[in-house]
Chains A and B, each alone.
Chain A
Amino acid sequence: MLENSLVFLSVRELGDRIRTRQLSPVELTEAYLQRLETIGPKLGAVITVTRSLAMEQARAAEKEIASGHYRSPLHGIPYGIKDAFSAKGFPTTWGTAPYRDRVFDYDATVVTMLREAGAILLGKLAMIELVGGFGYDDANASFTGPCVTPWNSACWSGGSSSGPGAATAAGLVGFSVGGETGGSILLPASYCGLAGMRTTYGRVSRSGGVTLSWSLDKVGPMCRSADDCGLVLAAIAGYDPADPATTRRKFIYANRPGRSTRYRLGIVKGAFETIDARVKANFEQSVKVLGEFAEITHNVELPDYPYGPILGTIMAAEGAAAFRELIDTGRMSEMANAADRLSGYVGSSISAVDYLQAMRVRKPARLALEKLLAQYDALIGPTTPTVAPYVNQQFSGYGRHFEGGKYVSLTGPGNVCGVPAITVPNGFGQDSLPTAVQFMGVPWGERTLIDIAVAYQSRTDWHKRRPPVD
């Protein structure tokens, strides 16, 4: 029986032990499976445990490594994936009742790439139904029920990558992979105290994953450290002919010499001044730490565009098209969340001209944000303005800590413009819940964002704290 502390190690630490044969992939996989099967349901984090596949892959990894064939830093590392992605022969539910028994006969590209890197698939993790594209108004928006953060079982894990957030933070998997359209990686990573990376649009193939919005969907890692995000991203990034949006640019995550100049960071005006007091205090403390290795510019104003209406219009229209089959057959009535049952009808009423208006406005907004981002290594702000809401709380009434009215989010603009961002934990707030800081950069600038986040985490230990799940 492995020590519990081992399951919370980073991917890099686990990989080092596996590579040097101090740790058995089979034993590690068995330990994670046991936790996934016992703690996972309590958190509402799991949809399908792929035990037979996992043990088969673990035995194969152990044999390969013993024979000297070491594939990558992920070889022998068990992981979980959001149930938005297909895994051949297992149900792929997209978190929703109409698809709870559906099985695809192919793997998503990201599953294939991780298998080729030697990673071990433990299970399909919980998610908000249809990746949260239909207006859910509380945490009960999946056919598996609400998913809670392991830091406080009364509170939501965030969504739509709910299970990846909760399972990774609780040490049920070595790492996980999620997807983001409007914030579905950054939000649960923040609420669960993880490092989570929204990649540049086109960095990671979406083939074999559910589509909510062709022009907004992204895939990215959710890990216990920023460094781990780099290791995982190196395995899943790359061109895929099955996803015409993917880039041929390489993402290489090898050691590189330390930077001789200080990073340039800009604090977004309005991102923290009026938010929850403890989230604000933690952010201000983060800025002090960042000041040890970066030049900080204050009051950086985001280009003035209606990011919310752009995002809302595009997501609603593309989502209504993507799920037209459910909408036109009345099967939206099977959704778990009441709001989710109706918003598809609204989205289907958006005219082509109005959708195109959003796409036309999106372009100058994106170019203006990219121009601003080019002046900095990253723009920063708190990832969320409050800690996680209670699991039974309606989001539309969620203002329990929040006194201001001029909050500026980085998440909406970043998604509209398809630029990368990484979130890392920076402390705790009300109800012992994690808070987080976000770094957003230029397209294809993931490496710099990870380096900044790694530098921050080398000076803090928030990512090493463990939630009370054992």
Chain B
Amino acid sequence: MAKRDSPLDPPSRRVFLLGLTAATGLSVVPEAFAATPDPVTAEAAPIQAAAAGKAGSEVDAVMALLTARYDSYLQAADLTAIRHGVERVHRNVNELLKVPIHNGDAPDSLFIPDGL
């Protein structure tokens, strides 16, 4: 199998505009937080296709939820942009899931700065 990016390989986050967009405080930041596409090998392609299908169905489910909640505020053209945002969230979460954490690893604590 050809070498693939490790879960935390720099290109997944060290992308152009990361500094600018992170610095501007963008939340669901478009390109900056998007993972750089991995090189697709013949061996990996079916796996990625399956993953993409799964991701697509999850995005569809989220879009159905958002449409149910906010349909009266949204135009058809808005849904395309929102879908891109949901896809980015999905990619971000996948990046987070690559970091090894364990059962007892608690979320970072809020509001106790003296414990920093």
Structural contact, B116 and A361, CB atoms closer than 8 A: no
Stretch at the interface among A19-27, A110-118, A240-248, A288-296: A240-248
Q: Across the interface, which residues of A come within 8 angstroms of B69, CB to CB? A: 348
Contact B18 A412 (CB under 8 A): yes
Closest to B61 in A: A349
| A376 on the B face (CB < 8 A) | no
> Size class of B's contact patch?
35 or more
CB within 8 Å: A-B pair count: 245
Q: Are A330 and B70 within 8 A (Cβ)?
A: yes
Cα-based distance from A415 to B101 in the complex (angstroms): 21
Q: Which of A186, A349, A358 counts the most chain B CB atoms within 10 A?
A: A349
Stretch in contact with the other chain, from A52-60, A176-184, A426-434: A176-184
Whether B30 pairs with A306 at a CB distance below 8 angstroms is: no
Q: Closest chain B residue to A419 by CB distance?
A: B116
The interface residues of chain B lying within 8 Å CB-to-CB of A359 are 107-108
Contact A246 B99 (CB under 8 A): no
A345 touches B108 (CB 8 A): no
Distance (whole angstroms) from the CB of A53 to the closest CB of chain B: 29
Q: Is B43 an interface residue (CB 8 A)?
A: no
In the complex with contacts A133-B27, A330-B73, A364-B99, A349-B65 CB distance below 8 A: yes
**Pair A356/B65 contact, Cβ less than 8 Å:** no
Evaluate contact between B26 and A135: CB separation under 8 angstroms: yes
Chain B residues with Cβ under 8 A from A444's Cβ?
116
Interface of A is mostly: loop
Question: Is B114 touching A249 in the complex (CB atoms < 8 A)?
Answer: yes
Q: Are A313 and B24 in contact (CB under 8 A)?
A: no
Check if A309 sits within 8 Å of B92, measured CB to CB: yes
Residues of B14-41 whose CB lies within 8 A of A: 14-33, 36
A257 to B32, CA, bound (A): 43
Q: Once the chains are docked, how many angstroms separate the CA of A396 from the CA of B25?
A: 14
**In the assembly, what is the distance between CA of A418 and CA of B114, in Å?**
12
Tell whether A408 is near chain B: CB-to-CB under 8 Å.
yes
Most buried by B among A180, A370, A386, A407: A407
Q: Are A135 and B108 in contact (CB under 8 A)?
A: no
A308 touches B107 (CB 8 A): no
> C-beta contact mask, B96-116 vs A, less than 8 Å → 1, else 0?
111101000111111111101
A213-235: which have CB < 8 Å to B?
214-215
Contact of A364 among B70, B72, B92, B101 (CB under 8 A): B101
- Chain B residue, CB-CB nearest to A442: B116
- CB contact list, A320-345 vs B, under 8 A: 327, 330, 332-333, 339, 341-343, 345
Q: Are A312 and B92 in contact (CB under 8 A)?
A: yes
B81 at the interface (CB under 8 A from A): yes
With A270-B10, A308-B29 known as contacts, the answer to whether A411 contacts B116 (CB < 8 A) is: no
- List A residues 169-195 near B (Cβ within 8 Å): 180-184, 186-187
Q: Which residues of B contact A308 (CB under 8 A)?
A: 13, 15, 18, 22, 29, 32-33, 92, 95
15 contacts between A and B (CB under 8 A): A158-B24, A159-B24, A182-B26, A187-B24, A247-B113, A304-B10, A309-B93, A309-B95, A312-B33, A316-B27, A345-B70, A349-B62, A354-B89, A360-B105, A406-B10
Closest 10 CB pairs of A and B: A202-B113, A183-B23, A409-B19, A346-B85, A359-B107, A412-B22, A309-B92, A330-B73, A132-B25, A182-B25
- Chain B interface residues (CB < 8 Å from chain A): 8, 10-33, 36, 62, 65-66, 69-70, 72-74, 78, 81-82, 85-86, 88-89, 91-93, 95-99, 101, 105-114, 116
A interface residues, Cβ below 8 angstroms from B: 128, 131-137, 158-160, 180-184, 186-187, 200-203, 212, 214-215, 244-249, 270, 304-313, 315-316, 319, 327, 330, 332-333, 339, 341-343, 345-350, 354, 356-366, 370, 384-386, 389, 395-396, 398-399, 402, 404-409, 411-412, 415, 418, 443-444
New A-B contacts (19) at CB < 8 Å, excluding given A183-B19, A412-B22: A135-B85, A137-B30, A306-B96, A306-B98, A308-B15, A310-B96, A311-B22, A312-B33, A313-B96, A342-B81, A345-B70, A347-B28, A360-B101, A361-B96, A362-B107, A363-B108, A406-B10, A407-B15, A407-B19
